[in-house]
Amino acid sequence: MKILANDGISPEGKEKLEKNGFSVTTDHVAQDKLINVINNEKYSALLVRSATEVRKELIDACPNLKFIGRGGVGMDNIDVTYAREKGIIVENTPASSSQSVAELVIGSMFSIARMTFDSYKQMPEKGDSEFKALKKKYGKGSELRGKTLLIIGFGRIGRSLASYALGVGMKVIAVDQFVDAFKIPVSIEGVGEVYSQVNTTTDLHGTLPKADFISIHIPKQADGSAVIKKSEFDKMKDGVMIVNIARGGVIDEDDLINALDNGKVAAAALDVYENEPAPRKDLLNHPKIACTPHIGAATVEAQSRIGVELADKIIEVLV
């Protein structure tokens, strides 16, 4: 049985599949050639990440497909319901990348709180001639300990982030439509796990004024509307800091820039954008935005876990 891992798969996942009798191809096929290649090569499974879209047209045109796998969490690039209605198994890997995404959020929060993301750019250019001025500029950062973090969306990634945030001494509040409360484990080397319960609320607008930091962990909305826009920014405290490592379009980018320019938002960290893979230049160049190129789940460890998890799911249903 042949598998096309169009956006790649870890060596560990590929090896596991091949040991179980699958033939795995990792050559990337352009979107407009994908239907022909799947049919001509008689692939039974298609593995993607965020770069490849699996829409109704492809599903209808590829009757041999039995399995569609998404390496990662969000599946908004796949017409999941339609594929399942056609009898195709669709799976993702929600457990594999939670830690990697959570660590990038924490790292981004430290970076925007201390303005190191901008300092790293300015020091090579001006550090030898404007050292004292830069020291004064970047000497007004804030600490994370004791601050309140609002997590919007309390699934696996949100809960993993809560564990890190509690570990550095932050207060955590969460908004979620489905989870009422969760005991969050905080791992301490030499001690083991200690637990802290985080109760959630569905009242987003009621929690926004309480947050010093906000991190978003919800999928792109079905109607394409932004969850965080001017009406939400208006309810936040002045100087709030925001991280979006979920999906582009969850934050209205025009409203974010306005909130940064008027001081409502002190700084933001973005890993995702509405116009990937060509984000707006005014976002990339904004002095109060720390930008990364959609790398939330892109660690060596996460990629290994994702590949193995996909392999296990394929073996379970197709062998």
The pTM for the full model equals 0.88
What backbone torsions phi and psi does residue 118 show, to the nearest 5 degrees? Answer: -85, -35
Residue 247 a catalytic site member: yes
Place of tokens 């830690």: 99
> Does 3.30.1700.10 match the CATH number of domain 98-291?
no
Catalytic residue among 15, 103, 130, 276: 276
Catalytic residue among 247, 286, 305, 309: 247
Where are the domains positioned within the chain? 2-94+300-318, 98-291
User: What per-residue confidence (pLDDT) applies to 179?
Assistant: 84
Catalytic residue among 49, 294, 305, 309: 294
User: What per-residue confidence (pLDDT) applies to 95?
Assistant: 82
Q: What is the mean pLDDT of each run of 10 residues along the chain (319 residues)?
A: 96 97 97 98 95 97 97 90 97 91 98 98 97 96 98 95 97 94 93 95 97 95 92 98 96 98 98 95 97 94 95 93
Say if 2-94+300-318 and 98-291 have the same CATH topology: yes
CA distances, 97 to each of 37, 39, 92, 123, 181 (Å): 29, 31, 11, 33, 22
Residue 205 a catalytic site member: no
**258, HSE (Cβ side, Cα atoms, 13 Å):** 12
The model's pLDDT over 55-98, given as tens digits with 9 standing for 90+, comes to 999 999 999 999 999 998 878 899 999 999 999 999 999 889 99
C-alpha–C-alpha distance, residues 48 and 68, integer Å: 8
- CATH-assigned architecture of domain 2-94+300-318: 3-Layer(aba) Sandwich (3.40)
Residue 55 a catalytic site member: no
Other residues' Cβ atoms within 10 Å of the Cβ of residue 48: 23
What amino acid is encoded at 102 in this protein? Answer: A
Torsion, CA 8, CA 87, CA 62, CA 22, rounded to 10: 40
